[in-house]
Amino acid sequence: MRPGREGLLRNAASKAIGGAARVVPARDAVLVLGARPWLAGPDALGRPAFTALQCPALAAAAVLPDGRILAAGPGREVRVLALDDAQRRGALHRHAVPLPAPCRRLAVHDASGAFLAVLGAGAALVNPFTGEAALLPLDADVAVVAGAFVAFHDAPDAWHVAVAWARGLALAPRAAAACGIDLFPVRLAGGGALPAPLLHRTPLEGAVPAALAAFNGRLLVAAGCELSLYECGHARLLRKAQTRLPSPATCLATQGLRVYAGTLRDSLLLLQYRADGPQLVLVADDPCPRGVCSLAVVDYDTVALGDRHGTFSLLRLPASTSDQVDREAALPASSAAPPEQLLAAPFKLERLADFFLGDLIVHLARCAWTPGDREALWYVTVSGAVGLFLPLPTQGAASLAQQLEAALRCLSPDAVNGAAPHVTHLDLLGRAHAAFRSSFLPCKAVVDGDLVEALVLTGPGAPLSDALKHQAVAAIPDCDKSLAELTARIFQWRSMAGL
């Protein structure tokens, strides 16, 4: 602020940076030294932005006259940091790792950060810190269909990689001449995982495996309509429990004693594990039949999924039903209903949210972009798009976002006469916005962030003119906020996810 001027600070932004943090003023930004170095300053559009520096923790720093940063680490190291234009704009840090074949699926080892990349004709362990990829020694004439990290209950500190393969795989109908699961011990070293020679091979009979998952010190295998639970033996995997599903499973997720199975026809199935059997019991399903291609566990009772129609949904088991399921799981097996009756799924999942993306979601994950940010549901689509669903903090914020979305919907060319030249970018595929977002299921409890962000975009390619922005703000009922205040609120929502 210039000398002799006074006023109020507007468009403020906040960020969790950890304890014992210090601030070093730079030329056009602020360097924050904490558990992780951050650079706070305006981006290319003048909006507040936070950029995480790709370097270890810094103990002290000073700014040189040319804009570079002289930094000292906790040891005897001295670094000179230079930020290019892409880093000043908050661009994502990317590191490319060459693979011998396109990656079909990924499995992540949380402790070491290593990736298991399932390729078309093989599998590789990838160290994201060094960029090294180690191929697993598999047969040359097999196709890898699934993979997972697993630690068995008899040796919880010894990690293994389970790889499901098929020989002579045919896609339509899905069949193979032979199927099996190879188990490889892995050694954690240098922030990654190194494979060891093959421990043993387990042949499978029946359908081709579709998904693998670790479950309470055992390996969960979905092959066709069969869901099996295996333990590690000396010469092969030992099957301890098996249940039959109404339709073939496509993806798996686990938490606690529950298994969430996405199927090809019957949407999501929730199964409870009973240790006295042992057996997996089907307890709840989704009343809307559809094919599921990806899912992520939000909490013990809530699951997010993406179906083959391009719709994102959030399903939850009611709290009263969840307590009843846990009580029945503790009863003796003789008092439980027989398996043929449980195939009818005595309980139903509630749909909390539905939103049509118009693109097939191939992966869902619940995570925070950087430490201190709010957790969100990140998704990747088959066309290569990356996006997120961010939970709003309060009911008031959700109500404001819904009212703003409704006001922007009214600016479509078929609702405002003479506004078509200015709002052509808001018209999705030539259809009404509400009808497009409800193509498969009615849109529920989700606000279209792409539509709301049209209020803050400026420049020659902006979808809305300033006059239409003020018109949309004026159309919000019982709203005493100005356009600048709504713009600051949208930036605040973005900063929650680290954007």
Higher pLDDT, 286 or 192: 286
Q: Once rounded to an integer, what is the mean pLDDT over residues 225-237?
A: 94
Of 287, 293, 288, nearest in space to 307 by CA:
293
123's tokens: 């599998």
Distance CA 176, CA 168 (A): 5
Of 232, 215, 225, nearest in space to 248 by CA:
225
Read off φ and ψ for residue 454, nearest 5 degrees: -65, -20
Higher pLDDT, 330 or 268: 268
Share above pLDDT 70 across residues of the chain, in percent, rounded to a whole number: 75
Please list the alpha-helical segments (H only) found in 343-454: 395-409, 433-437, 449-452
Higher pLDDT, 239 or 344: 239
Read off φ and ψ for residue 403, nearest 5 degrees: -65, -40
Place 11 in a pLDDT band, splitting at 50, 70 and 90.
very low
Q: Once rounded to an integer, what is the mean pLDDT over residues 86-108?
A: 67
Q: What pLDDT is stored for residue 472 in this prediction?
A: 86
Q: Once rounded to an integer, what is the mean pLDDT over residues 389-418?
A: 78
Distance CA 470, CA 402 (A): 17
Higher pLDDT, 79 or 321: 321
Q: Once rounded to an integer, what is the mean pLDDT over residues 43-65?
A: 64
Q: Rounded mean pLDDT of the chain?
A: 81
Digit-coded pLDDT (tens) for 432-483 = 778 888 888 999 999 999 888 888 887 777 778 888 888 888 888 888 888 8
Digit-coded pLDDT (tens) for 297-328 = 999 999 999 999 999 999 999 998 998 888 87
pLDDT at 8 > cutoff 50: no
Q: Once rounded to an integer, what is the mean pLDDT over residues 118-136?
A: 84
Q: What pLDDT is stored for residue 419 in this prediction?
A: 42
Distance CA 363, CA 253 (A): 12
Of 55, 131, 47, nearest in space to 90 by CA:
47
Q: What pLDDT is stored for residue 334 in this prediction?
A: 52
Q: HSE-up of 396 (CA within 13 Å, CB side)?
A: 3
CA dihedral of 12, 15, 20, 25, whole degrees rounded to 10: -50
Place 2 in a pLDDT band, splitting at 50, 70 and 90.
very low
- The 10 Å Cβ neighbour count of residue 59 is 12
Task: Yes or no: say if 313 and 441 are a contact pair by the CB < 8 Å rule.
Answer: yes
DSSP helix/strand/coil, 489: helix
Task: Yes or no: say if 202 and 236 are a contact pair by the CB < 8 Å rule.
Answer: yes
Task: Yes or no: say if 257 and 284 are a contact pair by the CB < 8 Å rule.
Answer: no
